[in-house]
Amino acid sequence: MEALVIVAIVALGLFCRTVMKNQNMTTRMSRISNALFELGIDQKRLPAPHARLVRKIALKRVMQNPEGANVFHTALECFFAVTIKPKTPNYLMYKAHDRNSLSRAMVVIATWGKQRKIRLPVAQSALLNLSAHLFGSDREEDTATADSFVQAQQILKSVHVENFKRLNS
């Protein structure tokens, strides 16, 4: 009888742990979805292959590290997969507003870097990846996007200067 009670308690404990873990994963997935929406990608309006790709990437990241899947990196990876990588299906659908989305994304990335205190090299490398795509040799430089890049760099630099002053005071 005592063994049955112990087994029931252990089973209940494992069940509660599984429920909490699934709830944590659901929360992370919704944060990633919100982050993508900030970047200008509405998952509900994506073509099915893109939506599957985004879910696959996000789930992979959350499953790898359910405790602390980095929303910033995961959202960026999904964003790049949908808008930049030419091997993804239906890539041509995004060409028309590609520059506009990426331009907005630069400022969003810099703002995230500021709000979430993301380390400067991480945010800068994300900006450099975007700028390499935008200002590659096969494209002409777009002044609006260049202005967004400069604005994003200024935001990052001001955050870096603030952090430096705070650390040295």
- Tell me: the pLDDT tens digits for 51-84? 777 777 777 777 776 555 566 666 666 666 665 5
pLDDT tier for residue 96 given thresholds of 50, 70 and 90: very low
* Closest alpha carbon to 48 in 79, 78, 89: 89
4 contact partners, CB below 8 Å, separation of at least 6: none
Better pLDDT: 67 or 95 = 67
pLDDT tier for residue 9 given thresholds of 50, 70 and 90: confident
Asked if 61 contacts 73 with a C-beta cutoff of 8 angstroms, the reply is yes
pTM of the predicted model, to two decimals?
0.42
d(CA 104, CA 145): 8
d(CA 119, CA 59): 24
pLDDT tier for residue 93 given thresholds of 50, 70 and 90: very low
Is the confidence at residue 166, as pLDDT, over 70?
A: no
Structure token digits, residue 34: 């919100």
Asked if 47 contacts 90 with a C-beta cutoff of 8 angstroms, the reply is yes
Q: Quick one: pLDDT at residue 91?
A: 42
Is the confidence at residue 87, as pLDDT, over 50?
A: no
- Tens of pLDDT, residue by residue over 103-155, are 566 666 666 666 656 555 666 666 665 555 555 544 455 555 566 666 666 66
Sketch the domain layout of the chain as residue ranges.
1-89, 95-169
Quote the Cα angle for 44-92-142, to 5°: 100
Buried b (16+ CB within 10 A) or exposed e, 22-38: eeebeebbebbbebbee
